[in-house]
Amino acid sequence: MTSRLGWAPYALLIPSLAFLAVFFATPMVQAFALAFEGPDGGFSLANIQRMLGDTSFRSALLTTLALVVLVIPIQFALAMSMALVVNARLKGQGLWLYIYALPLGISELAAGIVWVSIFTQSGWLNSILIGLGITDRQITWQSAETPWLLIACVVIAEAWRATSIIMIILVAGLQSIPREFLEAADVYGATTWQKIRRVVLPMLRPSLQVALILRTILAFQVFATVIALAGTGLDVLASEAQRWATDIDNDNVAAAYAGLILLLSLVSTILFLVLLPTREEHQA
Amino acid sequence: MSARTATVPMARRRSGRGRLLERGLIYLGATLLALFILVPIYLIAVSALTPRENAFDFPHSVVPAELSFDTILFFINASGVIDSFWRSVWVALITLALSLLIGAPAGYALARYAFRGRSGYRLLVLSTRAFPIVILAIPLAVTYRVWGINDTVIGVALMHTALALPFTVLITSSVFVSVPRELEEAAQTLGCNPLQAFLRVSLPLALPGLAAAAIFTWVLSWNDVFAAVILTLRNPTLPAHILSALTQSPIYFQFAAGFVMLVPSLVVIFFIRRYLLGLWGRVVK
């Protein structure tokens, strides 16, 4: 069969290219046009200044950064443990993977509400603490007065919800490590910990890099979990973007917030590419 | 590294007891991690199945005394819930259809043809993931007002398709790679034209993988809150409706809402459990 249709692949690609041009590339450019658009339609920094001068800007930026810095290491520690369990050939291997993957399909909002049922004043955590005799009064976990506790609630909920995606990427990476490497380490009497440090982690580097980049970009957009657990008690960048877009009806400042999220994502992506160079960069 | 390990003397085999202990510790860790995932799901289920009048009983008992659908029925009958539920279903269905219609041909092209610009296109699709989704919704809302599709099911579905499309292209491409092209070529030698060969041979074989890709798209659309909140006002999807109702609704409404949103996700993950690694794991490469 040599009757190759030279134009066929291009014809098959065109619809997706056209769609992405209209609904992906154009809005990206428009976002910056909106952010730098003055009242007269010309270039202006007024929206940026308005965002920077907004009373909740500082707290939104700091809370978002704090969440990213706290959540990512916890998620990676959990995901790594889960991935190693899945790869350890325990009984019911598929079942472990399935359980750890369950949160993949759970939305930010649903996950937030799940943890509301635990952290709320008359919720499960206080019930269990009182039942165990650890405390005799209901502790208030979710209060705007104690933002650090609120942040801790969000961190736990996010660790519960969004660890699975990292776990899956790491499991896929682990499965591409040849068994012989680990068996060789066994022959030399390496302990489990040595095997992880010397064989698994170095070979897992490309997967770790991809997972870090992906997860960090998503973490900068944290939104519904925060609203469910903290209401207006915590500001984050995405909730500020939403507030300016829908409540205040100012798309320009909202776009400035969105642009800031994009900027942070790009900076973190570049950072991970530089800090965690992989020799297999070209394999993409 | 290999040079270094080679100098390590052959170590003694570790004792059977040490191995057993290590194995035990792994099982313990595995169980604790599983409980961390499962216990919250159990607790929200109990919360949602507790009758409304018992919602504020304290302390709760981990083994519920009485289960009923009272709270869930209350949620379903609350104003706006059914309407927004159907809107969410429609948005997800349109997203699914559009992204497969537009994305699967591209995936097929990537899998079957060697052509100039193939790796460039792949890179382009992959790079969409470096852009946060949040940034799309706000300018699209402005555009939609001009087009007159603001606050509509189709508007939200178009945005969700933009999110899902890169994934659909990559997933369907790996699905078609796994269908041997020789079969298609054999069909062509037997007199099928390329389209017939695709429809009669490749498509049926690719169907389970395509179904998994479709479910992945469904999850993506079903779970989106941010875009839906920005793009809708009077006609929200279910998550957008629940989000805006959170502050003025009783806590048992929230529990039922959380549970109702959660159940479909658990069912979906069950059905595509075999494809989990292929869908979420490999597409990032």
Q: pLDDT tens digits, residue range A107-142?
A: 999 999 999 999 998 889 988 888 888 888 888 888
Confidence band for B46, pLDDT divided at 50, 70 and 90: very high
Asked whether residue A116 is domain-assigned, the answer is: yes
Per the structure, the complete domain to which residue A277 belongs is given by 47-283
Shortest Cα distance, chain A CAs vs residue B91, angstroms: 16
Asked whether residue A136 is domain-assigned, the answer is: yes
Contact criterion met (CB below 8 Å) for A118 and B42: no
Confidence band for A151, pLDDT divided at 50, 70 and 90: very high
Indicate whether this model's pTM tops 0.95: no
pLDDT in tens, B177-213: 888 888 888 888 988 888 888 888 888 888 888 888 8
Contacts of B125 in chain A (CB under 8 A): 16, 20
Strand partners, A37: A43
Asked whether residue A225 is domain-assigned, the answer is: yes
* CA distance linking residue A16 with residue A19, whole number of Å: 5
The pLDDT of residue A223 is 93
Q: For Cα atoms A278, A280, B2, give the angle at the middle one, nearest 5 degrees.
A: 80
Contact criterion met (CB below 8 Å) for B204 and B210: no
User: HEC states along A161-179?
Assistant: HHHHHHHHHHHHHHHCCCH
Q: Does domain B79-284 have CATH number 1.10.3720.10?
A: yes
Q: Find the CB nearest A245 among B1, B138, B269.
A: B138
The CB-side HSE value for A96 (13 A sphere, CA atoms) comes to 24
Phi and psi at A43, nearest 5°, equal -70, 135
pLDDT in tens, B120-160: 998 888 888 778 778 899 999 999 999 999 999 999 999 99
- On the question of pLDDT at A283 being above 80, the answer is no
Asked whether residue A16 is domain-assigned, the answer is: no
Cβ–Cβ gap A258/B115 under 8 Å: no
The region of weakest confidence among A96-105, B69-78, B273-282 is: B273-282
Mean pLDDT of B221-230: 92
Domain edges within chain B: 13-73, 79-284
Cβ–Cβ gap B132/A26 under 8 Å: no
Cβ–Cβ gap A131/B222 under 8 Å: no
Average pLDDT of every residue of chain B: 86
Q: Find the CB nearest A81 among B29, B139, B169.
A: B29
Which CATH number fits the domain that encloses residue A56? 1.10.3720.10
**Domain count of chain A?**
1
